[in-house]
């Protein structure tokens, strides 16, 4: 390999092994670093945050007895002594009780057992010896990584020597690397300026790159809290006494900085990503007297990056926050923040909570018990603006306080015993935690998958019967709801938001979810289901019907249908969609072809679904790209970058805006008299008719009065009557109203001078834009269709 810098000071494998690993990493230290579970347990007990371990399997006997149903739906299977990301299996969700790899491919019990047996046999072990398999908490990347469009969880590798973080690299997983942050498999390595925490150079396959796969610039992006990451890496070396060490950390969306693993055989790609020889930096700090991690970090910033400040004699003390012995901490629970007065004591080694406050906090979901540890609990709290994750003990506390903060958790503070109590200590109180409420509502939104619950169990069979008989009205079998609607409703009832802009949006979402519960409960009954659908999606008003009729009168001609032999099938359509997804850098999307679908094409959670027997004209493909990819998918991906989950999941009433924008976009590419330009207007009339007529009557009406093709009439009738059991009864699923109603709102928005790019920040409703504008930290959209990229918002 040729290096893009003078070869003086480059560290090679032999030099690394002889000069740094052999003299500074004793065999026991290497063995300790190789044992991931032992390392994480040891460091976690000393305040270093790490992912939770759900279970471990050490033998085939334990494997035969293991109950996989005891695992959460989201977890990661890992080998304890693994290396290079080999053997890892990301299990994200279940389908009919079967785990889904990456939320997509089903993993059978046989495959899972075979993978665990391979792990036990040492197939993925760094030393080739027998191993232990363990299941760990899934970590999700922080929004700061969004500009890199990672195909998995990025990590930050920091090389530490003599307590000095000498070099750091951000590793971005790609589709080619299989979603793993491994630069040898095709991941991207990006250097980080030690002083600034800003990305510098990028490398892939041992070559420098100036552009990320999706077209973004890898340089100049700030890693938030980078100094804290450096401090954590140096602290880990201080605690473990591993002399030459690489620490792999990530920033998790909820947990913040989290340890992934430590490595006593740090690789050498980091010097390519930084365009700087590693050996020269190691020699620069070798032999220096560095007494603490704080001094090590400061020295690294002075030596290896642009100075951010001039170090003074009392620099270390000046950077530490000052606290008194009487303070108030904030503990986050389920939608609330508990403010609790505390006593800061240097006489206590560990933090102690009284049993009564622990009992209350457990009920509020603010602490997590640790079975088998003798009254120990995991807790996260904020003290003087600094987040602390630690293990606390139950015990007696002084009169008047229920919490004593011990020495281990105040190492980063200066204590001023003379500080008056009234300065920082508040009375006990409970505040609403809007970020937690957003997360809870997004979770409840996931637990109420409406379209899945409305898909009849016997859809395929009843469709085939209806295809043979125009007078047939299906009888649908409704699926049993997998969760507990009463329990979900109870959790929803217990949530309380404030009247801030975000709080008002969360209240609206809460009300919408109540309506969704009512709709799911009402399945089967034509009357009750229709009533619930009207509450959720509205009714075809007289004014809307009048506007539709006037709109349809504007159609002066019609396009001839394309020849059948020119139509594209599901597989060809999938190829077209893949090409567009690649152009937008959306490599982590999957296209599924399904036999049992009501519509021809739909999107959801990084998937595009296509009905297997659907046929598409070229203009229809272009319209679907504009509708599904350039609207729904781009908006969801931009929403994923926002600090609140509902920007991706969808705030209340977002459907009108989303579907209206999608139709507006598809109209830009359709010919003037294409049938699809008028289909959504016809749907309004179809809904109004279905509310008063049977399935067979609706189907005939669509054919004779609205000009639907036989296949389209059958598909639309099935759509309008899903949720009913006896479709011979009048009643309808009224969701089809949102498309044309939304289009009218979008056209009015544009006519009034509205900027469509504002609607791409996430799944929001037009009417909520004034509230959204008042929420801090909302990011501009990263992904936009070509016609909207010309100006910034």
351 vs 789, residue with greater confidence? 351
- The dihedral sign for the CA sequence 653, 659, 662, 667: negative
Q: In degrees to the nearest 10, what's the CA dihedral of 239, 243, 248, 250? A: 40
Every domain of the chain with CATH number 2.40.70.10 lies at 320-432
C-alpha dist (Å) from residue 254 to 15, 51, 197, 481: 40, 12, 20, 29
Q: Kindly give, in sequence order, each residue whose CB lies less than 8 Å from that of residue 598, ignoring residues fewer than 6 positions away.
A: 455, 459, 715, 718, 719, 722
Strand order in the sheet with 590-594: 590-594, 607-611, 601-603
**Residue 374 pLDDT level (bands cut at 50, 70, 90):** confident
Report pLDDT for 790: 62
Q: Which residue carries 């363990």 as its tokens? A: 134
Cα–Cα distance between 730 and 724 in angstroms, integer?
A: 9
- The dihedral sign for the CA sequence 148, 165, 198, 778: positive
Beta pairing, strands 326-332 & 199-204? unpaired
Beta pairing, strands 164-172 & 155-161? antiparallel
**Residue 440 pLDDT level (bands cut at 50, 70, 90):** very high
**Residue 311 pLDDT level (bands cut at 50, 70, 90):** very low
Asked if pLDDT for residue 334 goes beyond 50, the answer is: yes
**Whether 269 contacts 183, CB under 8 Å:** yes
DSSP string, 108-140: -HHHHHHHHHHHHTTTTBTTSS---EEEE----
Every domain of the chain with CATH number 3.30.470.20 lies at 141-309
Report pLDDT for 177: 83
Q: Any idea which fold 141-309 has? A: D-amino Acid Aminotransferase; Chain A, domain 1 (3.30.470)
Select from 618, 480, 490, 478 the least CA-distant residue to 562.
Answer: 618
| Residues 472-507 pLDDT 10s | 999 999 999 988 999 999 999 988 899 999 999 999
Asked if pLDDT for residue 314 goes beyond 60, the answer is: no
| Residues 336-355 pLDDT 10s | 888 899 999 988 889 999 99
Pull the structure tokens for residue 249.
Answer: 């950390």
Over residues 62-80, mean pLDDT: 93
Task: Outline where 305-343 has alpha helix (H).
Answer: 315-319
Reported CATH class of domain 320-432? mainly beta
| Per-residue buried b or exposed e for 306-335, using 16+ beta carbons within 10 Å of the residue's own CB | eeeeeeeeeeeeeeeeebbbbbbbbbbbbb
Cα–Cα distance between 724 and 524 in angstroms, integer?
A: 5
| Residues 126-167 pLDDT 10s | 878 899 999 999 998 998 898 888 888 999 999 999 999 999
Report pLDDT for 748: 96
Cα–Cα distance between 61 and 594 in angstroms, integer?
A: 39
Asked if pLDDT for residue 578 goes beyond 80, the answer is: yes
Q: In degrees to the nearest 10, what's the CA dihedral of 531, 537, 538, 540? A: -100
DSSP 21: I
Asked if pLDDT for residue 420 goes beyond 80, the answer is: no
Q: In degrees to the nearest 10, what's the CA dihedral of 44, 49, 52, 53? A: -40
Pull the structure tokens for residue 780.
Answer: 């501009």
Report pLDDT for 557: 66
Report pLDDT for 422: 59
pTM above 0.85, yes or no: no
Read off φ and ψ for residue 475, nearest 5 degrees. -115, 110
Pull the structure tokens for residue 544.
Answer: 């809307």
Q: Left, alpha or beta for 306 (phi > 0: left; psi -120 to 50: alpha)?
A: beta
For residue 435, how many C-alpha atoms fall within 13 Å in the half-sphere facing its CB?
10
Select from 438, 500, 535 the least CA-distant residue to 733.
Answer: 535
Task: Outline where 47-203 has alpha helix (H).
Answer: 60-65, 109-120
| Residues 514-539 pLDDT 10s | 999 999 999 999 999 999 999 999 99
Asked if pLDDT for residue 315 goes beyond 60, the answer is: no
Pull the structure tokens for residue 689.
Answer: 């008719």
C-alpha dist (Å) from residue 513 to 488, 491, 497, 506, 752: 10, 11, 15, 11, 31
Select from 530, 573, 567 the least CA-distant residue to 711.
Answer: 567
Report pLDDT for 301: 92
- C-beta neighbour count of 709 within 10 angstroms: 12
| Residues 243-277 pLDDT 10s | 999 999 999 988 889 999 999 988 788 999 999 99
Report pLDDT for 428: 77
Q: Kindly give, in sequence order, each residue whose CB lies less than 8 Å from that of residue 14, ignoring residues fewer than 6 positions away.
A: none
Report pLDDT for 560: 62
Q: In degrees to the nearest 10, what's the CA dihedral of 782, 786, 789, 793? A: -70
Select from 327, 347, 510, 518 the least CA-distant residue to 434.
Answer: 510
Q: Kindly give, in sequence order, each residue whose CB lies less than 8 Å from that of residue 536, ignoring residues fewer than 6 positions away.
A: 512, 515, 516, 518, 519, 735
Cα–Cα distance between 683 and 737 in angstroms, integer?
A: 7
690 vs 433, residue with greater confidence? 690
Task: Outline where 345-433 has alpha helix (H).
Answer: 355-363, 421-424
Q: Measured between alpha carbons, how far apart are the two ends of the chain, in Å?
A: 44
Lowest mean pLDDT of 246-250, 373-377, 439-443, 718-722, name the range.
Answer: 373-377
């Amino acid at each position: 390999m040729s290096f893009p810098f003078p070869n003086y000071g480059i560290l090679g494998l032999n030099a690394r092994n002889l000069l740094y690993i052999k003299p500074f990493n004793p065999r026991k230290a290497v063995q300790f670093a190789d044992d991931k579970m032992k390392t994480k347990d040891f460091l976690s007990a000393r305040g270093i945050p790490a992912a939770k371990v759900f279970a471990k399997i050490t033998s085939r006997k334990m494997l035969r007895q293991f109950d996989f149903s005891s695992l959460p739906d989201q977890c990661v299977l890992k080998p304890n002594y693994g290396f290079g990301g080999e053997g890892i299996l990301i299990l994200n969700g279940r389908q009919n009780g079967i785990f889904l790899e990456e939320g997509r491919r089903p993993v059978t019990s046989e495959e899972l057992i075979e993978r665990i047996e391979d792990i036990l046999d040492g197939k993925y072990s760094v030393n080739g010896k027998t191993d232990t398999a363990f299941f760990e908490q899934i970590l999700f990347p922080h929004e700061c990584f969004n500009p890199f469009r990672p195909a998995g969880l990025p990590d930050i590798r920091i090389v530490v020597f003599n307590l000095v973080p000498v070099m750091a690299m951000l590793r971005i997983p790609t589709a080619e690397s299989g979603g793993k942050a491994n630069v040898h498999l095709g991941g991207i390595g990006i250097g980080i300026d030690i002083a600034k925490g800003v990305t510098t150079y990028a490398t892939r396959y041992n070559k420098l790159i100036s552009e990320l796969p999706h077209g973004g610039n890898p340089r100049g992006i700030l890693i938030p809290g980078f100094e804290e990451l450096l401090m954590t890496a140096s602290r880990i070396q201080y605690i473990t006494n591993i002399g030459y060490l690489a620490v792999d950390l990530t920033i998790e969306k909820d947990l913040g900085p989290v340890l992934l693993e430590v490595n006593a055989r740090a690789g050498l790609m980091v010097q390519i990503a930084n365009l700087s020889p590693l050996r020269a930096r190691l020699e620069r700090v070798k032999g220096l007297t560095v007494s603490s991690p704080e001094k090590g970090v400061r020295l690294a910033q002075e030596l290896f990056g642009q100075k951010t400040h001039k170090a003074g004699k009392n620099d270390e003390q000046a950077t530490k926050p000052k606290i008194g012995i009487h303070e108030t901490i904030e503990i986050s629970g389920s939608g609330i923040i508990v403010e609790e007065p505390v006593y800061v004591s240097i006489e206590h080694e560990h933090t102690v909570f009284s049993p009564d406050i622990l009992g209350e906090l457990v009920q509020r979901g603010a602490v997590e018990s640790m079975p088998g540890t003798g009254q120990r609990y995991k807790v996260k709290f904020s003290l003087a603006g600094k987040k602390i994750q630690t293990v606390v003990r139950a015990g007696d506390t002084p009169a008047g306080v229920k919490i004593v903060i011990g020495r281990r958790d105040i190492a980063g503070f200066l204590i001023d015993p003379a500080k008056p109590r009234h300065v920082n200590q508040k009375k006990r109180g409970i505040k609403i935690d809007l970020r937690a409420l957003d997360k809870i509502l997004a979770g409840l939104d996931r637990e109420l998958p409406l379209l899945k619950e409305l898909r009849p169990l016997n859809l395929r069979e009843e469709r085939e019967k209806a295809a043979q008989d125009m007078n047939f009205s299906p009888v649908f079998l409704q699926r049993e709801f997998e969760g507990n609607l009463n329990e979900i409703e109870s959790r929803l009832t217990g949530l309380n938001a404030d009247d801030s802009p975000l709080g008002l949006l969360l209240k609206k979402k809460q009300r919408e979810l109540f309506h969704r519960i009512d709709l799911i409960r009402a399945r089967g009954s034509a009357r009750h289901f229709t009533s619930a659908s009207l509450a959720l999606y509205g009714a075809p008003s007289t004014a809307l019907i009048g506007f539709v009729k006037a709109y349809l009168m504007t159609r002066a001609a019609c396009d001839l249908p394309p020849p059948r032999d020119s139509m594209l099938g599901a597989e060809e359509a999938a190829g077209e969609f893949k090409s567009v997804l690649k152009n937008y850098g959306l490599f982590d999307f999957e296209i599924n072809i399904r036999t049992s679908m009501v519509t021809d094409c739909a999107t959801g959670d990084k998937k595009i679904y296509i009905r297997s027997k659907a046929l598409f004209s070229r203009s229809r493909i272009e319209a679907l790209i504009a509708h599904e990819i350039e609207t729904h998918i781009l908006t969801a991906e931009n929403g994923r970058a926002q600090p609140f989950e509902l920007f991706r999941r969808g705030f209340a009433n977002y459907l009108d805006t989303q579907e209206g924008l999608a139709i507006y976009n598809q109209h830009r590419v359709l010919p003037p008299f294409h049938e699809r330009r008028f289909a959504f207007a016809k749907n309004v009339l179809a809904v109004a008719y279905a509310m008063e007529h049977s399935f067979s009557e609706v189907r005939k009406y669509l054919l004779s009065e609205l000009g639907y093709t036989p296949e389209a009439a059958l598909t639309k009738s099935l759509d309008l009557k899903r949720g009913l059991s006896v479709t011979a009864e009048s009643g309808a699923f009224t969701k089809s109203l949102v498309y044309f109603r939304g289009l009218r709102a979008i056209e009015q928005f544009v006519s009034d001078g509205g900027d469509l790019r504002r609607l791409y920040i996430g799944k929001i409703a037009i009417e909520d834009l004034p509230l959204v504008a008042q929420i801090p930290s909302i990011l501009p959209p990263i992904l936009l269709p070509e016609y909207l990229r010309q100006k910034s918002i």
